[in-house]
Amino acid sequence: MENLDNLKIPELMEVIIRVKAETEVIKKETEAIRKETEAMCKKNQKEINQIKKETQAMRKQNQKEINQIKKETQAIRKEAEIIRKETDEIKKAAELSSQKNMEKIERQIQENNALDKKYKEEQKIMNQHLYSMGIGMGMGLEDGMFNLLESNLTLEGIKYDSIQKNCQYHDPITKQTLGEADLILINGQHVAIIEIKHRLTIKILSEFYLKKIPIITKNDPHFKSKKIHYYIATSSYEDAVIPKAKKLGIGIVEPSFYDIITILKAA
């Protein structure tokens, strides 16, 4: 901190202006943190309430896991409340101009960022755990994707008229099965072909593009004069898959507990 007693009036004014500018920047940053925290609290409160409603219908043998999830949710809510309170304190402290208080504010902002990161990670783990519980109770990845799509028939903003499941294609002469489409969405202008894979690899992606797509598009009359969108729904994937799929124009989606997350848009 500069020795204010030794400064002339112009130099003192310069210090005051600089401190005010730095204080204003910190006030804006802390206000943004506060708004983001409140938005996360509201969003996750809605998800938590839905989780409580869903978990009541689960089997009795999963009650112990459900209770544990409730405890973890309460802990997350408490951490979010701590973040909100600390952010309010930062806003008040930001009005002070001393260097000592500014250093304290910086430390508190770093701590809040760390808490916020931890909160998001724990929320993601909890959602993945809930979804895996659904799979364990008989709702497989394919059934989960089908149920999510059937509820609104919408994918990437396109509204479809109908959905088909496990569509098989046969050789017209030998009747031998040539291939199968896991899910197909259809409307007057668009068709979406959706492949379901728990773990998406480069090999699976290539086979879908080179082998499965040609068989389906050649043998299905729905595809004539329609825009075709190709997707693979998965719960995990290799990092190298993303650039390869983007080059091929294949979208990648991931069903969550309540919605379908677009990882890569289809061409």
* pLDDT digits 0-9 by tens, 73-130: 778 778 878 887 887 777 777 666 666 667 777 787 887 787 777 766 666 566 555 5
Last residue of a domain, which of 79, 109, 136? 136
pLDDT score recorded for residue 136: 40
Greater model confidence, 55 or 111: 111
pLDDT of residue 202: 94
> Residue 194's pLDDT is what?
95
Please check whether residues 131 and 71 belong to one and the same domain: yes
Same domain for 111 and 196, yes or no, is no
Question: Are 126 and 42 in the same domain?
Answer: yes
145 and 100 within one domain = no
Give pLDDT, residue 14.
Answer: 78
Per-residue model confidence (pLDDT) at position 60: 62
In tens, the pLDDT along 7-52 reads 567 776 777 788 788 888 888 888 888 888 777 777 767 776 776 6
123 and 148 belong to one structural domain = no
C-alpha to C-alpha distances, 117 to 25, 76, 108, 143, 149, nearest whole angstrom? 22, 12, 14, 32, 31
The secondary structure of residue 210, as a DSSP letter, is I
Instruction: Tell me which DSSP letter residue 219 carries.
Output: H
If one compares 254 and 62, the residue with the highest pLDDT of the two is: 254
Q: For residue 210, give both structure tokens.
A: 């080179």
Pair (10, 117) in one structural domain: yes
Beta-carbon contacts of residue 141 (< 8 Å; ≥ 6 apart): 135, 196, 198, 233, 234, 235, 255
Residues 117 and 209 occupy one common structural domain: no
| pLDDT score, position 137 | 39
**What phi, psi does 198 have (nearest 5°)?**
-65, -40
DSSP readout, 38-87?
A: HHHHHHHHHHHHHHHHHHTTS-GGGHHHHHHHHHHHHHHHHHHHHHHHHH
57-74 CB burial, b ≥16 within 10 A, e <16: eeeeeeeeebeebeeebe
Q: How far apart are CA 172 and CA 176, in angstroms?
A: 8
What is the domain count for the chain?
2
pLDDT at 134: 45
Per the DSSP assignment, residues forming a β-bridge with 230 are 193, 250
Could you tell me the residue range of the domain that residue 190 belongs to? 141-264
Decide which of 113, 136, 159 is a domain's last residue.
136
Mean pLDDT of 125-152: 67
